[in-house]
A and B are shown apart, each in its own frame.
Chain A
Amino acid sequence: MTKRITVILNNETRSLDVEPNDILLNVLRETLGVKSPKIGCERGDCGACTVLLDGKTVRTCLILAVEVDGHEITTLEGLSQSGLTPVQQSLLKHNSFQCGFCAPGMVLSATELLGKNPSPSQDEVKEAISGNLCRCTGYEPVIDAIVAVGKKAGKRV
């Protein structure tokens, strides 16, 4: 028994049939072919599967696809469509990532934070990305890069 849902995925309206127990993460990756949300734990612990749902970060491994009917989803693919955002540029310049597996989720968490709070403190950055596990970097270069974006923004104002 499938259900038809419609989502706005990265600014594009997509309609598709899903099973009531289909997990959003799998639907994004397999049915819609969007691969930047990664599978790390499938139980809400690692944040690798993070996307923006109506502008707020969610873990897609904990959400059923039927729940997002009529909503808007942004993944890293969508974010990168018109060039790099300032936070992506800063993360790139700081060589923030190593293996890069946590990067999609981390970038979206940082994007959400900077949307609400353009010049976050170090503690605010730490808190905002505390749901995104990274085993490689020790977080420091990621935190530094996000704080640096805020400092730049702060100066411009």
Chain B
Amino acid sequence: MSSLKIVGESPERIDGLEKITGAATYVDDIDFGARLLHAEIVETPYAHALIKSIDTSAAEKVPGVVRVITGKDFPYRFGLYMQDRFSFPTDRVRFVGEQVAAVVAHDAKTAKRAAKLVKVVYEELEPVLDLTKALRDDAVLVHPDLGNYTRCPWFFPQAGTNIAHWRKTRKGDIEKGFKEADVILEDIYTVPRYSHCAIEPHVIVGLYDLSGRLTLWSASQSPYTQRHVLAQALAPLGLSHKDIRVVTPYVGGGFGGKAGVSMEIIGAALAITVKGQPVKVRWSRAQEFYNTYQRQGVIARIKLGAKKDGTITAIEHTLHWDAGAYVEYGANVVNAVGLSATGPYRIPNVKIDSVCVYTNLPPSGPYRGFGYSEFHFGLESHMNRMAHKLGMDPVEFRRKNAIREGDTLAYGAKMNPSGLHEAIDRVAAEIGWGKKEVSKDPNKVIGKGFACFWKAPALPPNAASAAFMKFNEDGSLNISVSGMEIGQGFLTVMAQIAAEILTVPMERIRVELPDTDRNAYEWQTVGSHVTWGCGNAVKAAALELRGKMFEVVERALGIARDTLYLEDEKVKCRTRADFELPLQNFVINGIQTSHGNFIGGPILGSGVFMPEFTSALSDPETSQGGHPNVHYTVGAAAVTLEIDKKTGKMRVLKATLAVDAGKAINPGLVKGQIVGGIVQGLATVLYEDIRYDLKGKLVNANFTDYKIPTSMDVPDEIVPIIVEVAQPDGPFGARGTGEHTMIPAAAMVANAVEDAIGLRMKIMPITAEKVALELQGISYEDVKGSYMGLCFAGHPDAYKFHTKASTKK
């Protein structure tokens, strides 16, 4: 491995110059000329209501209005894993802000004015705004037709209830496990909803041309998946995959929010109804909050048993998710957690119930961490408390139970190679674990908090990546893939992998942004899997190119191909020191033989990767029998936190995080993910505080009232640590790290707060306001007023984990 030249280095990003000069084009920057139409959405003010009538006549009369579209024009359902979402609902609305109609006009101002003239008559229904009520026998149903929805085979919706999916995992003997325990600790943890807040809002431009071809320019992490979901939804209109083209230029941040299909269905629907003219739908910041995806809220109960020596004997983890009005993607988040909610620990007896509940809050879906950020808050808080109860050091307790390669996972498969112990040790050393720090200011106290984490990509078993590659006349290289550059540095990493194998320097490689007409297939850029999955495809394509070059040299010049190798953009020979052939001399035009003819031709190739060893088929009652996850990435993190005892204000003096990247193809980019991820994670615990009123309306859908960190809010010091225990099936040993860096943040802060002031906060976020109140002996829950952060307004400690279906079994 020491012979690597560019893999393991941190060259300048290949998209850097475009982004620093303003040349980088995002969807909203593309010019469509004077024909471009603009849309304004008519939204419902009710969380749950029947649509009695929609009168569009007044809006249609406004000069400049082209069409007004409702569910009558476009009654199609769609969804990635379950088709439960509507382009425009026809009969009922399910969350405040849901689209009921759209006005398309020649300019945005006219569309906006006309949208106000659309008259919708509703019959209000009782909304499902309380998880307890949602799960009662006589619950109001958000989806009365749930039993009829098309879904993937590993979802288990329960018709006649609000349960969209229920992942059960059972391992060992849970009762025996708790009997063996000397100490049992049980408690409830609550995580509200969160918003992704990519700075670029969702935007889509659709053109259904007069030949019947639909092109979509989309700010998306998932061009191919969008095409596929739309092709399924639009099949009744006779459109097939070849008729749909999705083009994705640069994306201004995704974090999961631009995965799958959300508002894009509206762009497709409108384009089809105004055939021949391009139409743009751009979400406002407020719509960005309530009508794409949110991170779902969860109330989780953890019961953990351990022996006196610190060995964990059993875990029972029950999670009730407020998944919102539509769960076509969010249910897979619930599923992923249901398989992995043990955290990165070897636990012989496991019972996990991860229950996805429909509510009348906005739809939920993937957000960096994919459910793991949520459950780690409770689990890693609980680990700390259990350690204290046992009289053990929290780091030592984690170390003792930390998972190792070959351990049996909760669903029966084996754990992949893992550097968790190294990560724990390096983080503990970096943060000065065990050394108490004292603030110079008598009003301030300092605490330290620690947390471990793990996460696997949640992929369907046939999630594939592919790459095309071709040389140009001068020996430079074009790589065509459909992974998305969402900021993580994907393009740069793909170029590094190809550069390593083909010896072409980085500045002579272009990696193209996706266009489903041309670029090779990629399932989606989610789950931190593209370095691994698409990296494998790029590596395979580069190896194919190399093989083809050697084959041409052998045929043209009679030099045995197995004596050839590449160096400095030349083919060289191990047995003939004098032989060297620059790539640019033959990769397009071939090699001339002594007869004057040419052998070869343009060198191009392709590579594919699919994790052929995975399977989502398992026993629905236990989850045993399948191999749903490809591998886990593990790590640990810690924080030094200073708290002002008067104001509750918290300052992060230091944060450190170690992640096992397998092999960091580009250590600089991995560090970028660590710093960015920590800050995004810290924001969920220290600042971001979503509020719904008791009628289900989101009241802080803007950056004034929903605070994301500014440059003034970053930790004083962040120390990224990269651990490298190779992933055997990863390109050069690499595995993903992007999402993971956000996961431990909330729990490590909760643990530091307890260390500093002795208070255990079990409800996120942990804002200065809450800490200040708690220090005065006032529970925030008692004074919070009529707002809720997820679909439950009561005190979470009083939440009963009853479900209609659970009483049956």
Query: Which residues of chain A have a CB within 8 Å of any CB of chain B?
Result: 29, 33, 35-36, 38-43, 45-46, 48, 75-77, 80, 84, 88, 91-93, 95, 97-104, 107, 125-127, 129-143
Q: A98-B486, A99-B252, A133-B710 are in contact. List 7 more A-B contacts (CB 8 A).
A: A76-B21, A95-B13, A98-B489, A99-B250, A103-B24, A138-B675, A138-B676
Contact (Cβ within 8 A) A141 B285: no
Chain B positions 228-269 with a Cβ under 8 Å from a chain A Cβ: 250-255
Contact (Cβ within 8 A) B29 A138: no
B122 within 8 A of A: no
Which A residues touch B675, using CB under 8 A? 137-138, 140-141
Nearest-CB residue, chain B, relative to A143: B711
B152 within 8 A of A: no
B317 to chain A, nearest CB (A): 30
Nearest-CB residue, chain B, relative to A126: B711
Contact (Cβ within 8 A) B714 A46: no
B: number of interface residues (CB 8 Å): 55
A140 to chain B, nearest CB (A): 5
Our pick among A46, A107, A130 for the contact of B711 (Cβ within 8 Å) is: A130
Our pick among A36, A88, A135 for the contact of B708 (Cβ within 8 Å) is: A135
B740 to chain A, nearest CB (A): 15
Which A residues touch B668, using CB under 8 A? 95
Contact (Cβ within 8 A) B200 A95: no
Which B residues touch A29, using CB under 8 A? 28-29
A156 to chain B, nearest CB (A): 22
Closest 3 CB pairs of A and B: A101-B252, A98-B487, A100-B19
Sampled A-B contacts (29; CB under 8 Å): A35-B29, A38-B199, A40-B285, A45-B285, A45-B702, A80-B21, A88-B20, A92-B16, A98-B672, A98-B676, A99-B254, A100-B15, A100-B252, A102-B199, A103-B19, A125-B711, A126-B711, A126-B714, A130-B711, A131-B710, A134-B199, A134-B711, A135-B253, A138-B676, A138-B709, A139-B711, A140-B718, A141-B675, A143-B711
Contact (Cβ within 8 A) A136 B712: no
Which B residues touch A142, using CB under 8 A? 711
Nearest-CB residue, chain B, relative to A109: B711
B25 within 8 A of A: yes
Which A residues touch B25, using CB under 8 A? 35
Most buried by A among B21, B25, B677, B709: B21
Instruction: Digitize B636-677: 1 where CB-to-A-CB distance is under 8 Å, 0 elsewhere.
Output: 000000000000000000000000000000001100100111
Contact (Cβ within 8 A) B22 A80: yes
- A56→B158 CA distance, assembly (Å): 59
Contact (Cβ within 8 A) A35 B704: no
Q: Known contacts A76-B22, A99-B487, A100-B250; decide if A41 and B15 are in contact (CB<8 Å).
A: no
B587 to chain A, nearest CB (A): 30
A11 to chain B, nearest CB (A): 16
Most buried by A among B17, B25, B672: B672
Which B residues touch A100, using CB under 8 A? 15, 18-20, 24, 250, 252, 487
Nearest-CB residue, chain A, relative to B252: A101
Chain B positions 1-57 with a Cβ under 8 Å from a chain A Cβ: 10, 12-13, 15-22, 24-26, 28-29, 31
Contact (Cβ within 8 A) A141 B672: yes
Contact (Cβ within 8 A) B28 A39: yes
Nearest-CB residue, chain A, relative to B674: A138
Contact (Cβ within 8 A) A41 B285: yes
- A92→B29 CA distance, assembly (Å): 22
Most buried by B among A41, A88, A104: A41
Which B residues touch A46, using CB under 8 A? 199, 285, 703
B590 within 8 A of A: no
- A134→B486 CA distance, assembly (Å): 13
Nearest-CB residue, chain B, relative to A93: B12
Our pick among B252, B703, B708 for the contact of A38 (Cβ within 8 Å) is: B252
Nearest-CB residue, chain A, relative to B704: A45
